[in-house]
Each structure stands twice: as C-alpha cells, then as structure tokens.
Structure 1
Amino acid sequence: MPAAPSSPSSTDTHCPYCSLQCGMRLRPVEPAAPGEPAVAVEERPDFPVNQGALCGKGSSAAAVLSARARLGTPLVRDHRTGRLREASWPQALERATQGLAAAASRYGRDAVGVFGGGGLTNEKAYLLGKFARVVLRTANIDYNGRFCMSSAAAAQRRAFGLDRGLPFPLADVSRTGCLVLVGANPADTMPPAVRHLRELREAGGRLVVVDPRRTRTADLADLHLRPLPGTDLALALGLLHLVITEGRVDEEFVATRTTGYERARAAAMAHWPERVERLTGVPVAHMRRAVELFCDAPTGMVLTARGGEQHSKGVDTVGAWINLCLATGRAGRPRSGYGCLTGQGNGQGGREHGQKADQLPGYRAIDDPAARAHVAGVWGVAPDTLPGPGRSAYEILDGLGTDGGVRALLLMGSNPAVSAPHAGHIRERLRALDHLVVCDVVLSETAELADVVLPSAQWAEEDGTMTNLEGRVILRRAALSPPDGVRTDLAILRALAGRLGVGHGFPHTAQEAFDELRQASAGGQADYSGITYERVAAENGVFWPCPATAAGRPAHPGTPRLFLDRFATPDGRARFADVSHRPAAEEPDADYPLRLTTGRVLAQYQSGAQTRRTPALQRAAPGPFVELHPRLAARLGVADGDPLTVTSRRGRATAPAHVTPTIRPDTVFMPFHWPGAGSANNLTNPALDPVSRMPEFKVCAVRVEKTPPGGTA
C-alpha cells in the first residue's frame, strides 16, 4: 500500500507499547499548558500491521511526554537523609560510575550487572550489550524479555533451528483455514490485531481459543477450550494422540521434512483422551472437535502467548504445540505454521543483538568461537576479552547483593520491582545492592530504590529501529527534542563508557549505531546487514534475515516467510520434541487450595510504569482486582467489590473481588500492572524452566479469604 500523505511538519513513527508496533503519525500542536505534550497522535493508514487502527494505549501515548508524568532531571541518593535529590548530570554520572567501578574493583567484574528492557530500540539493546561486555566486561547481562517469550524462542530453536516470533507476516493469520490460539487474549493485549481474527472468520476460517478464562478473544471463537492452568502441555499431547489415532497425520510431510516423530508419537500415545480430560478438565468431545476443525481446514496455524509459555515447563509446552503442527503438515507451508505472539515492543530485537545472557549480535551464541571472533572484530577488541554466558534475568535478580552475586547494577528501561515474580523478595534484593543505577523515563518503583536515577528521552524524542512480532524491522522517528535535563540512552551509555575509560565505540546517533549493528549481525541468523534506515522508511519495514549483497547486485528483499523450502536446522528438517506432561511446580493442597493465574487488562501495559501515569488509562483501569467464579464467591461469602486477600507461599495481595462466570471455579485471576498491596507478583512462583529460565508466572497455589475489617484492598 503506498504511503498516505502527511503534512510537512508531521512525523511518521510507531507506537511505544506492544510488539505490533502500530504505525502512527505525530502532529505538532500548541501545548494545552506549560509542560504538556507538543504533539498529538493521529492515524497512519499506510502501515500494514494496523492500517491506522490504534488502541487506547496507542492513541493516548503522547500523554507520557507530559512533564508531570516523567523525570526531568537526574536524581542521586542523599547519604544524610536517605532520600533522592536532584543533581547535575556531571554529579550523577560521577556517582554512577564510581559505584560501578568500586564494585568491580572489590568483588570482580561479574559483580557488576546490567539489566535491560524489551522496549529498548535495537540500537540501545545492541549498545547496552556492548557496554556490558566491552566496558564492564561482565558476563551478567540479561533483560525483562526473558519473562516474555523465552520459552517459545527456545522451543522454536529446538524445532526449527531459528526463532522469530511469527515466521510469516501477521496478515497471513486472516488467510489460514483454522487458527488455534493458546494462552493469548489479543482483544485486550493488542486490540488492532483482532481485525485479523475477524477477517479469518469472515473468510470462512475457524478459530479455536485455549484459555482458562472466557476472555473477549474467546468470545470470538468457534470453540473455546478451558484447561486447568498449568495443563496446556497435556492438552497438546492429547490433541496429537487424537490426530494419530484418527489417521490424520500427514505422513509424507513427516517423512520428508521432519525427524524424531517416533519418540513424539510414543509420548502422545501415553496421553489418551480420557486421561487428558482428567488432567485438564477439557471434555473429550471438545478435544475431538478441536482436532476436527484443525485437520479439516486446508491450512492451519497455532499461535501461543504467555498463557502457555510462562511456566516451568514452557519450552516443552510450546514444543508439544509445534509437534501438532508438524504431525499435520502445518509448518513450512503457505498460510500454515507455528508462531509466538511476542508481548513487548522489541522483545524480538532486544535479544537478537546482545541483551540476552548467552547471545551476541545477530543471534549468535556467545560461547561459539567464530561468533566471538566476528563480533570482537567489529568492536575492535580481542575475542578472549569477551566474557562468556552469564546468569538469566531472575537468577541475576535473585542474587543481588549476595556473596557471589551482582553487587552493583545498571538497569535500563525495566521495572522488576513490580514485574518480576516473587516481587517482594526482588525488592529486598534491590535494596541489598551496594549500588543501583536506573535509566528510565519515569520514576518507576524500581527507580525509587536507586542510588542514581538518569532521566532518558522517550520514543517520540529519538530515532531508532524496533523489530516487531513478525520480524519486521521498523523505524521510529523523533518528532520532538528531549526536554532540558533529559538525555538519550545512547548519550548516557557514551558518557558512562567514557568515564569508565572507554572513550570510543559508542556512537552519537542511532543511525551510526545501526550501521555498526549491521556489521555485527552480518552472517548471523538474525542478519540485518542488508537493512538500512532508508529502506526501512521507504518500504514500511524490512523482514530479517536480510543479508547485504555484493556491489552491483540487487538488494536482498528481506524474508517475510521462513521455512518454505527448508528449516534452519543442519539437515533442513524440523525436529519433533520428545515431551510428556508433568505437574506445575506448585500444585494446590489443603493450605493453598486454589490456582492463581495472572495477566493483563486492556487499559494498562506491563508493570504500568507509563500507563498508570496516563490519566485516561488510569481512569479506565484504576487498580487491581481478584477475578473469581460465583460458586467460589458464594463459598467464601463474598460479593462483588468486597476486599479479598490472596495468599501464596511467597506473600499476599489484597484487592476488590470481581465476581464473574468467565473464570473456572477452581482458579482466580489477577492483573499484574500495579505495585503495593495489590501486586499480583508478590504471589507468583519463580520456579524456572530448565531450558529457557522462564519463571512460572501463570500458575501457583493460593488461598483466598475475605479481608477482615481494618484490612486494606
């Protein structure tokens, strides 16, 4: 679609929130009052992902640019009062670097850690990884994207040899014959994507939703399967059992394009339908109907999201759903395949280029000698000076301030005081640090604990690329200059590096950083070397991999669809996962008889650090709640709105009851956007998947009680 005309003074850019990275236009306006935003958000119909549609978060995104919502000057902890006070940039940078250097000198380089965010641009993620490995020379860098799609990433690499959220454009979803949506609620989490579900139905396609709650997305489905939280793996195995016993396996595809089927078949045969019904609560008749819808359609897709992935067996769970695609020939073919609905804005690019503990730019393994040599050459350092793999996100946070753990932490664009599992424990660990430096746009709950807070420029105030859930690299453009007292993250990293003795290698502009990223990614799985700012702007994004071509040859077109000819494994075949059901890390018992699952609401985003500062969004969703079934409410003597206390083995949370028949009677739900007494992540279980190191956010054992008089909710 050709670009729609824009006025000479407007700026075409993208939303600062989820992984759709919806196109939008920023138009200059006269501020309503001093310190209010000088731009307004408008639709941008030319961007194919959203075609102009924006959710409430996107349409109100300019509100966070307000001076009342954001940080405007550096802050340092006053040693006398213990409070944060305003400081100059030289003072704050000196305090920051002194603390980082002191920890390295006293405890060793790995006692300094870096924690990034899935909302950082590719350029920031790349330079943050470079800063950790070249300036600090620490192994301990990871990011909150570990809490997003790491289980799906590991399962995709195991099955296909390559991980990209969607191996096809999002528009292909509306053209498939049957879509199975597992643990996803895009009607609340990425509303502009719902048009693809509606177009699917209008074209005669079928939609199956797997979710313990009847969400607004489930209301669109032809079939809604409601498994007990923590049993998605068993359900996928049960569906594969039926595919096998009903003779619906695509034998030719399995024989020519896959390996490992016999082991997967044996595992599935041990999960007969009646057993799976007992484990999941999903009736056998509903399982048979799901298989009928999926296999009778000419094409099919399975998309998973956090509901199926945020488990201590998340990799195996995703592997089981991929097995279903492989057995039915629904992978590596047009309008068919497995994909993951990435959550955070740059959850994909954020790990491709260096924030993840075990990866170097281009999706290279940090313990691969050839990868180390290539990246070290781009950085101008010796390969043996680069550290090896470090700890994963939760493991870094869990060890903060301990002997052998990280003692000084640089944190950029994340709020683990609210978003991490067992959040009360993580807040204690953050307080135990010798030194905490936070770079952020707002005074988040994590920034409130810092020794130094460095105010960062925002999405509308700087250029940079993002990689959306399709693997489409898109370009955000600056529409404003940052306020006085605020610096870009690139400028902050350059200043910190200089004070720590590395006065080169940290570019002034995002485009310079991207050109270096292109070199570092060249030849890797996530090859961006053929992508330029000019191409991204002209083509409405470019899909990776997109390698550079020789002079005089046509540019590589990018790769919207992966695996059509071969998978990215050494032999070109997809690999079945040998997986079996196992219980959640924590099952209910007499003391904690219910299951808690967590998620998001329409008007808030992630830890809420920005959306809770947007008046319209805060009015729409002002606080946490506990969703429970009427039968459970009657047993507890609870009416809608009554204060409830939810207790797990890790902590408690109090919030008003929301009584609804849309949830199972044996399960309660809480959104996780809020800090304080209603923080759902005070309860969640940090049990980790052995492969992805994903915590088990989506299920833990709890008890629920009516809050006694005098309690808070």
Structure 2
Amino acid sequence: MPRELQILGACPLDCPDTCSWVVTVRDGEAVKMRGNPDQPYTRGALCVKVNRYLEQTRSPERVLHPLRRVGPKGSGEFERISWDEALQEISIRLRAIVDEHGGEAIWPYVGTGSLGYLQGCEGIAGRRFWNVLGASRHRLNICAAAGNEGLRQVNGTPGGMDPEDFAHSKLILLWGTNTLTSGHHLWKFVQEARAAGAHVVAIDPVRTRTAEQADEHLPIRPGTDTALALGLLHVVLAEGAQDDDYLARHTEGWESFREEILRHPPARVAEITGLPEEDVRALGLRLARTRPTGIRATMGIQRHAGGGATLRALAAIPAVTGDWRHPGGGLAYSTSGHIHLDIDTRDDLLARPVRTLTMTRLASELDESVKCLWVYAANPMASSPDQNRIREKLLREDLFTVVMEQFPTDTADYADIVLPATMQTEHMDLHAGYGHMYLLWNEPATAPAGECLSTTETFRRLARHMGLTEPSLYDSDLELAEQLLSSGHPSLEGITLDRLRKEGWVRLNVPRPFLPFAEGFPTPSGRLRFPQGPAYVPPHTATASRERYPLALVTPAPHTFLNTTFGNNPELLRRSGGPRVTVNPQDAAARGLAAGQRVRVFNEHGAFEAEVEISERVRPGVAASTKGHWRKLSPGGAAVNAVVGERDADLGRGAVYHDNLVEIAPL
C-alpha cells in the first residue's frame, strides 16, 4: 500500500488571504492540494489561481538547473552548468565588483513573488549576505508604500480592523478593492453581515465582479477617492452625526481638518469624482446613520499621485464617526502593522551607510553605477513601470545580472546566470497574512525538483563559496524561524515554532473581536492625527493635458494571474483570453472601434496591443486593462506596463499604476 501523508503549508503569494493549505503526498509525490478546512479564514477554499499550483510545480517549463547565458542578452539562450560552476563565476564577479566599485554597485532586487519571512520579501531572505558585502539597499515600494505611509501619519500604523469582524458591520464600503478576485475569502464575512441586514457598496472606477455583487456601485473617477471621503464627512457633519466624545478623547487636529471637510460639499465633490451629487449625499446620509461601518480598501486604491492622501482621508472617517469603538467598525487596509516578528537583518554588518535604490525606479536608477543586478521573487521586466527603458538598461553588457527563478520569465531572459529556485511545496517558510490575524507555517511537502534550492540555502552556499565568516549567514531555516518568533511582543505569547509546525497556523494573541483603536492609537500622543492643510491631492490624470492622450488607464488585477505569477500557465492563459482593453461605448464610437478588434494602446512611454472590449463597465474617459501578462507572451512583445509612467505617489514613493493617460487606435 502506498504511504500517504497530509502536509500543512501556506500560500506564499502576494494576496491578503495567505491561505492555509493541505498537500496530500503519496510515495514522495504531491498528488493533491486543497484549502485547509480547519483554518478559520481559508475554510477549505483556494482561489482559481492557486488551485493549479501543483500543476505549476510539475510544469515542463520549470528551471531545474543553473544556467549560463550563451546568446545575446534578452535572447533567452542558455547552457546548463553545475552549481559549483555557477557559484564560482558569481563569486569571482561579485568580488571584482566590490573591489573595484564598492558594494553599493550591487542592487539586490527582491519582489513580492513570495511574502515569506524566510524565503521572501517580508523578512530575512538574503539581507544579511548583502549587508556583509555592503550592497545598496532596496526600497520595496511597488505594492503598498503610499497607503502605508498615509496610515502611519494618521493612525501611527498601517494596521487596522480584523477583516473577520466585517461579519459585524451594518454598512460595508468596498473601496477600490475587487474582493472576489483579489482576496475572495473576505466575501464570506461580507455575506454573513449581509444576512444580518448589512448594505454593501462598491466604490470603483470599474464595474468589477465585486461591484456586480454589491448592493450599490459608485463608478468614481480614478484617483478622486479623497474628495469623496471628504464629501461623505461633509454630510456626516451636516447631520450632526460626528462622535464628539471620541473626537475629543482620541484625536488631534480636528478643528483644522473639520474646516477642510467643510470646503468639500457634495456639489463640489460630484464635480471632482464624476458621481451624481444625489449619490454622494445619499451615501453620506447612510454613513451618518449606520453604526458600525466597516471600510475595506486594498492596495489598488493608492496607486496614483494622491495615494497617500487617500488613505489618510479614509482613516479619518471612522475617527469622525467613532466607528473604532464598535466591532465591525473601522478601516481594514493591511493587518501587517499588527505583526511583530523580530526581523533581524543584521544591519550592524554594514561597514558604513549605503544608498537606497527604489524598486519602481528601475528604469532610471539602473545606471552605470550599478554593476550587478540580482533579482529574486520578482519579474521587473513585466511588473515594473516603463518597460521599454528597463529593457534598454538590462541590455547593458557591463551589467552582471543574476536571476533566481522558477520559470524562464521576461526578466530571466536578460540574465547572465539563472539559478533554479524552489517552489512553496519544496521548502519551509513562515508567513503572516496582511488580510487576517494569523501566523502560518509552510512545511515542505516534497523534495526540491531537479537541482532547485531555496533562497536561504542559495545564500548559505554562496557565502560559503566566497569564504565569508560571519556566523549568522549560516543560520538554518529553523534557527531563523526561532529568531523571528523571539520578539517578546504580547501578540506572540504562546506561539512557538513547535506549535506552528504541528498545527500549521495560530491566531495572533489578540482579543476577538479586535478593537485596536477603541482607546487610542500607537502615535506619540496616543491620538489619531488628522491631516493638516489641503487633504485632496488630485491624480496626474486630473491635472495633465489630455489633448494627445485623453483616456485615463487603470490596470487592475486579473482573475487568472497574481501579478505575473501563473502568467505562463497554459490553462490560466486560455481563461484570461489574452490582453484586453475595456472602453466605454462613447469612447469606442469616437475612435471607430469595434468589439473584438485588435488595437494599439499608447502614450509617450510606449505601446501595447490588445483586443478591445466595449462595455459600460467603465465610465467615459476611462480605459481598463489587467496587469500580469508576460511581455514575451503578449502580441507585439509588449504588455501593459509599457505605458505606465515612472512617477512617484505623494507619500512613500509609491507606484502610480492607475494614473496614466493613453490613446487607443486600431492596429
């Protein structure tokens, strides 16, 4: 009889749900994966993407051995080499770069391909190694930076509601978030609230899957959410529905911010947002009269010029209404602010301060001063802004590029050395969801495929090959996990590595329901700090000339890919239907476009090809095209980020993927 095991693990991908999964292993082979039915947030369900994860691990396209480039950069032509050959060549090149140019000539470029605290971007993942070499720091700002900084300025932390508490809400604002595509497990709690009488409103420029299922959809102009928040609060004040006691006890700067609210009556807000004035007023009245109100906003809402200001304004709403007092009231953006692991990257190993290079500025900052680009858990050729300029920089012959990868991605094609990386079922890792209140452990279910190595093991071997003597570079994965859990924070009380490995997941040691700001905020004064001065920062699309490029482009997540992960899966590619751009019938008629026609979407940065979809799911003046398509698998060899500008949001140097102007023309 075959021996069958059930191995507990966790999804590593860039999604707030961070699911707990169970892998069935028979005679050393993973034969089945399912959502863990015992985990309260996962409840047995995985998404349409991760349901194909085991299929992806067995893909014939997997990179299984170290590779050395033999063709021109970008050709994807490689030869197989041994790990010893790869490590030897890398060691020689890194030593030469450090000796001649200094460690800052190395850019370790890590992305959100894994959110693991061991193997991915959230924790240690090679940082000690780079500190020993004195490499440049990497600012990982591609995802949530503007919103995180906005919330820190107001609340003192990006942390907010426990998403499970939406089950207690009476009014739910799904603001700039497509829950049924990007974090569908929250929907169970929304449905529980609905069954008890809650009203659900989707605020989104696109009529998404989620907007179609909501009780109400407000098709706002992209990037004008701050103005809407101020307009809703204007109605709350007009109704005398502000919580004066909460404002007096737990906030500061209220009088100044109140004056800013009064400068945004519904009529003015309607002009800015493109929403009917009566809709702004009606939702304001509902907000004024409904306790508790829960607001769910995720990362897409802050990817524009005023992204930080938007989260500051959304954070102000439950402070004015006093919703933080009530289970089911408040704002949920990211629970990461409630995670207090001890992430000791050993910055003391740096001999001197070093520069910081910014992830979303790869096109401009990958200049002659960078002699080595080391990419892991990232596919910037497809995911980062300004694709055409990035390609020009990656073609530099004097740039030594190493890519740690599972598949031959757009970025891997430009590497000098490709190192084979394990997938989640093949290594151990520690995870914390940014959309729930649990820590999760991922136990490897199978041996690594081919000669693949985990991120931690790759850096251990490279350190040994280079003769580095710092002891912490050789800590095992279990030792690193023990260190992460040793912060002593009360939220980790009772959570041990042994317990995590046995149970697979443990809820943080916080109350249920969780009321993080009922009695104050983690700011120096203990109070929420209302933003001062003008609160609304308009998007680039509202201030730039639209003469040449009149359409505001948003690039939301597709249902079939997660960023560019799964972008090469044959079945998910088939389901995606290929690159599409959705335009309103008015805009299609003005350009003579027909449904299904091949079009060119372009601006001053570049262009991509897509099939046009004509639908009232987008408002006039707005175009929508999903992210995630690989450049080399797209028609014309370009994807949506070819037209995304390399600009910064107002705070945190956040990305502006939803704040670009384009034109569309038939091919």
If the length of structure 2 is used for normalisation, what is the TM-score?
Answer: 0.91
Deviation, 1:43, is 3.9
Deviation, 1:178, is 1.2
1:426–1:115 CA distance, 2 compared to 1 (3 A): same
Alignment-derived partner of residue 449 in structure 1: 414
Alignment-derived partner of residue 534 in structure 1: 498
Whether 2:209 is the aligned partner of 1:244: answer: no
Deviation, 1:72, is 0.5
- Kindly indicate whether the alpha-carbon contact (under 8 Å) linking 1:16 and 1:61 is maintained by their aligned counterparts in 2: no
Deviation, 1:127, is 2.8
Deviation, 1:532, is 2.2
1:672–1:696 CA distance, 2 compared to 1 (3 A): same
Deviation, 1:557, is 8.3
Alignment-derived partner of residue 599 in structure 1: 556
1:129–1:573 CA distance, 2 compared to 1 (3 A): farther
- Aligned partner of 1:19: which letter? P
Alignment-derived partner of residue 131 in structure 2: 134
Deviation, 1:429, is 2.2
Whether 2:147 is the aligned partner of 1:152: answer: yes
- Kindly indicate whether the alpha-carbon contact (under 8 Å) linking 1:325 and 1:337 is maintained by their aligned counterparts in 2: yes
Identical positions, percent: 26
Whether 2:104 is the aligned partner of 1:89: answer: no
Q: Secondary structure at the match of 2:22?
A: strand
Alignment-derived partner of residue 414 in structure 1: 378
Q: Which moved more, 1:580-589 or 1:622-631?
A: 580-589
Q: Secondary structure at the match of 1:201?
A: helix
1:54–1:391 CA distance, 2 compared to 1 (3 A): same
Whether 2:48 is the aligned partner of 1:56: answer: yes
- Kindly indicate whether the alpha-carbon contact (under 8 Å) linking 1:64 and 1:613 is maintained by their aligned counterparts in 2: no
C-alpha distance in structure 1 between counterparts of 2:515 and 2:463, whole Å: 39
C-alpha distance in structure 2 between counterparts of 1:486 and 1:43, whole Å: 25
C-alpha distance in structure 2 between counterparts of 1:128 and 1:12, whole Å: 22
1:79–1:201 CA distance, 2 compared to 1 (3 A): closer
Deviation, 1:45, is 1.0
Whether 2:659 is the aligned partner of 1:699: answer: yes
Deviation, 1:560, is 5.6
C-alpha distance in structure 1 between counterparts of 2:116 and 2:333, whole Å: 20
Whether 2:337 is the aligned partner of 1:318: answer: no
Q: Secondary structure at the match of 1:445?
A: coil
C-alpha distance in structure 1 between counterparts of 2:507 and 2:596, whole Å: 47
Q: Secondary structure at the match of 2:647?
A: strand
- Kindly indicate whether the alpha-carbon contact (under 8 Å) linking 2:4 and 2:24 is maintained by their aligned counterparts in 1: no
Map Cα deviations across residues 9-39 of structure 1 (whole Å, 9 max, x no partner): 11122234323122221112589xxxxx742
Alignment-derived partner of residue 440 in structure 1: 405
- Aligned partner of 2:368: which letter? T
Deviation, 1:351, is 11
Q: Secondary structure at the match of 1:701?
A: strand
Alignment-derived partner of residue 16 in structure 2: 19
Alignment-derived partner of residue 617 in structure 1: 572
- Kindly indicate whether the alpha-carbon contact (under 8 Å) linking 2:108 and 2:136 is maintained by their aligned counterparts in 1: no
* Match among 99, 104, 121 for residue 105 of structure 1: 99
Alignment-derived partner of residue 647 in structure 2: 687
- Kindly indicate whether the alpha-carbon contact (under 8 Å) linking 1:412 and 1:439 is maintained by their aligned counterparts in 2: yes
Deviation, 1:291, is 1.7
Whether 2:455 is the aligned partner of 1:489: answer: yes
C-alpha distance in structure 2 between counterparts of 1:139 and 1:612, whole Å: 30
- Aligned partner of 2:473: which letter? F
- Kindly indicate whether the alpha-carbon contact (under 8 Å) linking 2:107 and 2:357 is maintained by their aligned counterparts in 1: no
Alignment-derived partner of residue 466 in structure 1: 431
Deviation, 1:588, is 4.6
Alignment-derived partner of residue 425 in structure 1: 389
- Kindly indicate whether the alpha-carbon contact (under 8 Å) linking 1:438 and 1:453 is maintained by their aligned counterparts in 2: yes
C-alpha distance in structure 2 between counterparts of 1:536 and 1:332, whole Å: 32
Alignment-derived partner of residue 502 in structure 1: 468
C-alpha distance in structure 2 between counterparts of 1:460 and 1:486, whole Å: 12
Alignment-derived partner of residue 523 in structure 2: 569
C-alpha distance in structure 1 between counterparts of 2:93 and 2:47, whole Å: 42
Deviation, 1:700, is 0.9
Deviation, 1:407, is 2.4
Alignment-derived partner of residue 536 in structure 2: 581
Deviation, 1:262, is 1.8
C-alpha distance in structure 1 between counterparts of 2:503 and 2:27, whole Å: 32
- Aligned partner of 2:290: which letter? A
Map Cα deviations across residues 431-460 of structure 1 (whole Å, 9 max, x no partner): 336111111211211111111111111100
Q: Secondary structure at the match of 1:60?
A: helix
* Match among 43, 46, 49 for residue 38 of structure 2: 46
Deviation, 1:333, is 4.0
After TM superposition, the structure 1 = structure 2 runs for residues 510-521 of structure 1, keeping only pairs within 5 Å, are: 510-519=477-486, 521=487
1:499–1:260 CA distance, 2 compared to 1 (3 A): farther
- Aligned partner of 2:527: which letter? R
Q: Secondary structure at the match of 2:107?
A: strand
Map Cα deviations across residues 55-75 of structure 1 (whole Å, 9 max, x no partner): 211221111111413110011
Alignment-derived partner of residue 357 in structure 2: 391
Q: Secondary structure at the match of 2:50?
A: helix
1:69–1:384 CA distance, 2 compared to 1 (3 A): closer
C-alpha distance in structure 1 between counterparts of 2:40 and 2:148, whole Å: 25
Map Cα deviations across residues 249-277 of structure 1 (whole Å, 9 max, x no partner): 11110110111112221222222221111
Q: Secondary structure at the match of 1:141?
A: strand
- Kindly indicate whether the alpha-carbon contact (under 8 Å) linking 2:372 and 2:400 is maintained by their aligned counterparts in 1: yes
After TM superposition, the structure 1 = structure 2 runs for residues 147-186 of structure 1, keeping only pairs within 5 Å, are: 147-164=142-159, 167-186=160-179
- Aligned partner of 1:74: which letter? P
C-alpha distance in structure 1 between counterparts of 2:411 and 2:488, whole Å: 36
- Aligned partner of 2:40: which letter? P
Deviation, 1:485, is 1.2
1:399–1:700 CA distance, 2 compared to 1 (3 A): same
- Aligned partner of 1:412: which letter? Y
Q: Tell me how many residue pairs correspond in the alignment.
A: 648
1:174–1:69 CA distance, 2 compared to 1 (3 A): farther
- Kindly indicate whether the alpha-carbon contact (under 8 Å) linking 2:305 and 2:538 is maintained by their aligned counterparts in 1: no
Alignment-derived partner of residue 710 in structure 1: none
1:670–1:142 CA distance, 2 compared to 1 (3 A): same
Q: Which moved more, 1:279-288 or 1:430-439?
A: 430-439
- Kindly indicate whether the alpha-carbon contact (under 8 Å) linking 1:129 and 1:141 is maintained by their aligned counterparts in 2: no
Alignment-derived partner of residue 552 in structure 1: none
C-alpha distance in structure 1 between counterparts of 2:7 and 2:358, whole Å: 38
C-alpha distance in structure 1 between counterparts of 2:366 and 2:527, whole Å: 42
Deviation, 1:476, is 1.1
1:658–1:382 CA distance, 2 compared to 1 (3 A): closer
Map Cα deviations across residues 366-419 of structure 1 (whole Å, 9 max, x no partner): xxxxxxxxx58xx4x85773636623322355311334xx32122111011111
* Match among 111, 114, 127 for residue 117 of structure 1: 111
C-alpha distance in structure 1 between counterparts of 2:630 and 2:242, whole Å: 48
Deviation, 1:80, is 8.7
Deviation, 1:244, is 1.9
Alignment-derived partner of residue 634 in structure 1: 589
C-alpha distance in structure 2 between counterparts of 1:352 and 1:705, whole Å: 50
Unpaired segments of 5 or more residues in structure 1?
1-6, 32-36, 343-347, 354-360, 363-374, 547-555, 708-713
After TM superposition, the structure 1 = structure 2 runs for residues 189-228 of structure 1, keeping only pairs within 5 Å, are: 189-228=182-221
Whether 2:263 is the aligned partner of 1:270: answer: yes
What RMSD in Å do the two structures reach over aligned CA positions? Answer: 2.7
Q: Which moved more, 1:220-229 or 1:584-593?
A: 584-593
